[in-house]
Amino acid sequence: MSGERTVSFRGRSVLKTICIVVAVAVVLWLIWTARGVITWVLIAAFLAMAVNPLVDRLQRRGFPRGLAAAVVYVGVIAVIAAIGYSFIPTLVGQVNDFATAVPGYIKDLTAGRGKLGFLEAKYHLVERVKEQVSAGGAGKVFGLSSTALTITQSVFSTVAAVVTIAFLTFFMILEGPRWVERCFALLPEETQPRWRKVGSDIYRTVGGYVSGNLLISLIAGVVAYVVLSVTSVPYAVALALIVALLDLIPLAGATIAAIVVCTVGFLHTTTAGIVLVIFFLIYQQVENHFLQPIIYGRTVQLSPLAVLVSVLIGAELAGVIGALGAIPVAGAIQVVLVDWKRQRDLRRAAVTGALSPPGEGEGLP
């Protein structure tokens, strides 16, 4: 029996392992339970990082932190309100016009007429929908149940989210630097310079991505509005807003926006649809190869493969919010990995220098 081995575990080690597993499970459960609030906090943090450079600029000109934060915050809200006041009435009118036009589209589709008539003539789409309705009800076809209650809950949730994120953003702008200093103060004094540099690089990466993404989306929406107006496509403001919002989503957002807008363009006239297709093909090339490299080049230095993988993982984990936050998170991880590699190389160089014999590497007199 000499080949047998007995492995024994100390009771203290077993208890410590069980406590760690339970603690990790509790933390994961808390994160999952509070995922909505955590999402609000992350959105507020991204917005605060995008606005914070303006606050820092005012501080360098002698403004106190509180006054600088208030001025920038009120200014941003005023700009948003002015933009909303200028286009929301038009947007509401266009949405109402579109809702009025939808029955006509449906009537043409049902009768096999119009630009969408081929869906009924060739594919018998209406009959298939009727079969699904009779088999599982309208709720099964459209994925809807208790529509009125769902819409009401969504409205209240959206209002609560917007108000909460607005206050979180302001307090993060106001107290963010103090919280960061408190976190650095908890570290050993000799390691603080290293982690301050890491934090600065992460801030530059995330803040640059957020502000750059907002700028690119604004450019996309404005240019799309100009093209839609020139081609006389209806609902130009609403469609441009869709382009700007969807362009925030990396990789897939611009393509989805192009499909939606081009479809409306073809419903208007074939010429407008062709012009919009050509426009989106050219604009996406300009955005991908000119705007993004210029705006992101000095901040989020990720390869296209890393961007694609990070966006796919983020979208799988947290949907649209995950796709939006995937690139800055990947950039932050890259900053940490680069710092880790730098420290490892320094330790190896120090060990190699300590083991080298005296005089090695020195030049002759």
How far apart are the C-alpha atoms of 296 and 314, rounded to whole Å?
Answer: 19
- Closest alpha carbon to 92 in 306, 248, 235: 235
Q: Which residue has the higher pLDDT, 162 or 110?
A: 162
Close Cβ partners of 109 (under 8 Å, ≥ 6 residues apart)? 116, 117, 119, 120, 125, 126
pTM passes above 0.85 = no
Q: Which two tokens stand for residue 121?
A: 């003539």
Q: In sequence order, what DSSP letters do the residues of 8-37 get, joined into one string?
A: ---HHHHHHHHHHHHHHHHHHHHHHHTHHH
Report the alpha-carbon distance of residue 263 to residue 277 in Å, rounded. 9
> Coil, helix or strand for 113?
coil
237-294 pLDDT, tens per residue?
878 888 988 888 776 788 888 988 898 888 888 888 899 999 999 998 888 777 777 7
Give me the residue label for tokens 């575990």: 9
Note the pLDDT tens digit of each residue in 57-108.
898 888 888 888 888 888 888 877 776 666 666 666 666 666 666 656 566 6
Asked if 288 and 220 count as a contact pair (C-beta separation under 8 A), the reply is no
How far apart CA 331 and CA 212 sit, in angstroms, is: 14
CA distances from 358 to 52, 353, 355 (A): 52, 10, 9
The pLDDT tens digits for 142-193 are: 444 454 556 566 667 777 888 888 888 888 888 888 888 888 888 888 888 8
The residue with tokens 């990082």 is 49
